[in-house]
Amino acid sequence: MKHSELIKLLGEMSLEEKIGQMCQLVPDFLGKTGELTGPLGHFVLNGNETKLLGSVLNANGAENVMKLQDEFMKNHPHNIPLLFMMDVINGYETIFPIPLAQGCSFEPELAKEGAQVASKEAAAEGIAVTFSPMADMVTDARWGRVMETPSEDKLLNYLFAKAMVEGYQGDDLTKKGNIGACIKHFAGYGAPEGGKEYYNCEISERTFMEDYLTGYKGAIDAGVTMAMTSFNSLNRIPSTANEWLMKKVLREQLGFDGVLISDWAAVGELVNHTIAQDEAQAAELSVNASVDIDMMTLCYSHNLSKLVEEGRITIEQIDECTLRILELKNKLGLFENPYKDASVEDEKKLILCDEHRQKARKAAAKTMVLLKNDDKILPLDLNKSTAFMGPYADNRQIYGAWSWVDNENAIKTVREIAGERNIKVSFAKGSTVLGAKNRVKSYTEQMTEQEENKLLEETIELAKCSEQVVLFVGEYRLQSGEASSRTDIELPKIQQKLIDEVSKVNDNVVLVVFAGRPLVLTDLLPKVKSVLYAWFPGTEGANALMDILTGEQSPSAKLSISFPRCSSQCPVSYRSFSTGRPSDANAEFNYASGYIDCPITPLLPFGYGLTYTDFEISKVTLSGNTMTENDTITATVTVTNTGGREGEQVVQLYVQDVKASVIRPTRELKAFKKIKLSAGESAQVELSVSEEMLRFYTRDMSFKSEKGLFRVYVGFDSTTDNFAEFSLV
């Protein structure tokens, strides 16, 4: 449909129809009137809301979506199709590793490929828009939704958000298999005080503008079609009502011109935030902030018409919101093809197909991080008697909290994969995931303490007579995710006891950890020889894990987020700032920045990760020792694989602004390159630094670089001391 035709359609629509486009509800509402029952009992429909609805969330299945679309359109005055949306976060039916794990690959193209697979499957089931990617920068592992971000680092967040949007949307939204993407959560949602969900965020203007906006910008630069408001408040104003944030920053500064949607019920929650007296004022504040769609409240449908009559909002504002929604539907081709790509035949062909499974398997192997490997116990020597133990050795729940798995049987366990490959290992469960005393939502596995003790005793006996043990442990899948913030991010106590007891009777223990966040491993690392962090790897996670454990694949991932030494060290990040009293690790006691009972540094730093081979890196050399704003400095190192097998290494470049008008991070990731080398092979790696990379918000809030001395660090993680210096003149 031409733009002129959209304008004509807008002019023909009644005010009630326009308001309908600005409302999104779940499909349970369709065809209903009056007071609803069950979980939706607090909703009271006045009459035409569901007949004029603009979009629906969480309806899927090609046959179902096509039926809903047919029934809806035949009763709509202008036959405007519904827009079907869903949270497709890290895969649809074929589940990929959680986004935080994907960030560890340091391969944005991997995330793009995963998004393409997800979009094809979701589109076949009638989904036109996904509420993904999330680009919230997170440094506090206590926050449950840390699993949804690619990284604590702004460069990785930018690159992965951009790649995922490109994967979902392709170059033409009307093409089969492409769906619209929605960047979230705007903005600063990843920095809640104390890691508490849905809470206030205190971020300085400089930090917010320079660091937190970068990830969202990656999605916007890729042409993302939608953005979602965040639940948190910023500058003590909830995002959904923050006119400066949405209009000045998102739309004007970042150049976003798409549809802005609230998060679930966020418009109505403005009353709980105490900045709106009632739902009418909540609707008024949200429209003034240019929020186009009200998700899962009736604030817009019940109040916007009256607000226009009273002059509290204008018909022009309604028209702007409605036109943006119509333009999105037009970009998706819905006026010509209301079903988009919904197809029963494609559902059967695409969902969990071999091609998609293979891509998920590759992604899972690329995202597992080897944290320790003493005596090179990995890959496993399967000629030795081996025991697989722990609550995740025979467990299908190795997918993240946002995975919509209709059939858990599509996921195979480690035990099943070992059997398929005829790998001779003994098995023991060891423990349940959480133990008898727990209060975690949706966790159903129960044993008495007596049964737990018997299980542990049997496991210890097997460990005694095995030459090597692999312990598969981790948090419960719903211990991370939305509304799953935690004050204690250690492994469940019952699993800590299992590790303690097994490590007492066997010196060759490999720990495999499934998790949606960095867990505290401080006390566990010394007790085992090797730790492989598998995250929640998804549908093909067990297959990928066996590839790594047996040496068919070598781990290559690096931590995209720092691991704390204890829960109370959060938030923690490699991007620390200089202080007037820096810590001195060699001093017996000094008045310095830090703690008296814990080092100030992370347990495991950003960018860290081992492989099955060894690498050496030369001193960094620069192409010059001065640079003007029109020049580029090239940093060069030689990387050598000194081990006995092929492997991949991520060469990372960090920059430090030695002196500036405001305090700068001690180092920031500015470039990286992943290389593959055969045993004994060397390669020269060049990474460039431009003047643009040196810009920041100066003392007067100008975004620019300042002349002076810079250090360029190049190494294999964020703690490298391999540096050279240049001056910007």
CATH code (residue 329): 3.20.20.300
Residue with the larger pLDDT of the pair 31 and 90: 90
Distance CA 102, CA 403 (A): 15
pLDDT at 35: 67
Q: Is the pLDDT of residue 589 over 70?
A: no
Does residue 275 lie within any of the structural domains? yes
C-beta separation of 231 from 257 below 8 A: no
Of the candidates 604, 646, 642, 632, the one whose C-alpha atom is nearest the C-alpha of residue 689 is 632
Does residue 65 lie within any of the structural domains? yes
Q: Cα–Cα distances in Å, from 160 out to 144, 207, 400, 681? A: 20, 20, 18, 30
Does residue 675 lie within any of the structural domains? yes
Task: Tell me the average pLDDT across 385-404.
Answer: 95
pLDDT at 669: 98
Distance CA 509, CA 28 (A): 51
Domain boundary among 318, 347, 376: 347
pLDDT at 446: 83
Distance CA 65, CA 129 (A): 13
Task: Tell me the average pLDDT across 27-51.
Answer: 77
- C-alpha torsion sign, points 236, 241, 247, 249: positive
Distance CA 378, CA 551 (A): 8
Determine what percent of the chain is predicted with pLDDT higher than 90.
91
Distance CA 474, CA 482 (A): 18
Task: Answer whether 0.95 is exceeded by the pTM.
Answer: yes
Which phi and psi (to 5°) does residue 628 adopt?
-95, 175
Residues 476 and 340 grouped into a single domain: no
Residues 189 and 270 grouped into a single domain: yes
Does residue 604 lie within any of the structural domains? no
Of the candidates 82, 121, 119, the one whose C-alpha atom is nearest the C-alpha of residue 338 is 82
- 409 pLDDT band, cuts 50/70/90, is confident
Look up the CATH number of the domain holding residue 415. 3.40.50.1700
Residues 330 and 376 grouped into a single domain: no
Does residue 457 lie within any of the structural domains? yes
Residues 139 and 273 grouped into a single domain: yes
Does residue 434 lie within any of the structural domains? yes
- C-alpha torsion sign, points 615, 619, 620, 623: negative
Residues 343 and 436 grouped into a single domain: no
pLDDT at 493: 95
Task: Tell me the average pLDDT across 481-486.
Answer: 95
Domain boundary among 315, 347, 379: 347
Out of 87, 140, 263, 341, the active site residue is 263
Does residue 407 lie within any of the structural domains? yes
pLDDT at 583: 78
pLDDT at 44: 78
Residues 311 and 231 grouped into a single domain: yes
Beginning with the edge strand found earlier in the chain, give each strand of the sheet holding 723-728 in spatial order.
Answer: 626-627, 723-728, 708-715, 647-657, 668-677
Which phi and psi (to 5°) does residue 682 adopt?
-120, 155
Domain with 336 in it? 3-347
Residues 428 and 484 grouped into a single domain: yes
Domain boundary among 289, 319, 347: 347
Verify whether residue 294 is a known catalytic residue: no
Distance CA 380, CA 368 (A): 16
Residues 282 and 308 grouped into a single domain: yes
Residues 672 and 695 grouped into a single domain: yes
Task: Tell me the average pLDDT across 230-241.
Answer: 96
- Helix, strand, coil percentages in the chain from 3-state DSSP, rounded to 5: 35, 20, 45
Mean model confidence pLDDT for the chain: 95
Task: Tell me the average pLDDT across 379-403.
Answer: 96
Q: Which residues pair with 143 in a beta bridge?
A: none
pLDDT at 587: 64
C-beta separation of 117 from 96 below 8 A: yes
Q: Residue 603 corresponds to which tokens in the numbers above?
A: 């347990």
Does residue 585 lie within any of the structural domains? no
Of the candidates 550, 457, 455, the one whose C-alpha atom is nearest the C-alpha of residue 512 is 550
Give the position of tokens 């849905």. Answer: 198
In terms of phi and psi (left: phi > 0; alpha: psi -120 to 50; beta: otherwise), the region of 556 is alpha
Q: Cα–Cα distances in Å, from 134 out to 88, 93, 164, 206? A: 11, 19, 10, 22
- 596 pLDDT band, cuts 50/70/90, is confident
Look up the CATH number of the domain holding residue 686. 2.60.40.10
C-beta separation of 559 from 650 below 8 A: no
Q: Is the pLDDT of residue 34 over 70?
A: no
pLDDT at 396: 96
Helical segments of 185-314, H only = 205-207, 213-221, 243, 279-288, 299-309
pLDDT tens digits, one per residue of 102-147: 999 999 999 999 999 999 999 999 999 999 999 999 999 999 999 9
Bridge-based pairing of strands 621-622 and 530-533 is unpaired
| DSSP code of residue 436 | S
Query: What is the domain count for the chain?
Result: 3
Q: Residue 33 corresponds to which tokens in the numbers above?
A: 């009137």
Distance CA 416, CA 423 (A): 10
pLDDT at 37: 66
Residues 403 and 534 grouped into a single domain: yes
Residues 385 and 408 grouped into a single domain: yes
Q: Residue 29 corresponds to which tokens in the numbers above?
A: 């509402």
Q: Is the pLDDT of residue 156 over 90?
A: yes
Distance CA 291, CA 305 (A): 16
Q: Is the pLDDT of residue 38 over 80?
A: no
Distance CA 383, CA 590 (A): 53
| DSSP code of residue 489 | -
pLDDT tens digits, one per residue of 446-462: 888 899 999 999 999 99
Burial zone of 661 (CB within 10 Å; 0-12 exposed, 13-18 middle, 19+ buried):
middle
C-beta separation of 541 from 411 below 8 A: yes
Q: Considering only 132-141, 299-308, 593-602, which range has the smallest mean pLDDT?
A: 593-602
pLDDT at 3: 93
pLDDT tens digits, one per residue of 647-660: 999 999 999 999 99
Amino acid letter for position 40: L
What single string gives the DSSP state of each residue in 48-106?
Answer: SGGGS--EEES---HHHHHHHHHHHHTTSTT-PPPEEEE---SBSSSBPPPHHHHHHTT
Residues 470 and 337 grouped into a single domain: no
pLDDT tens digits, one per residue of 496-533: 999 999 999 999 999 999 999 999 999 999 999 999 99
Of the candidates 715, 370, 289, 360, the one whose C-alpha atom is nearest the C-alpha of residue 555 is 370
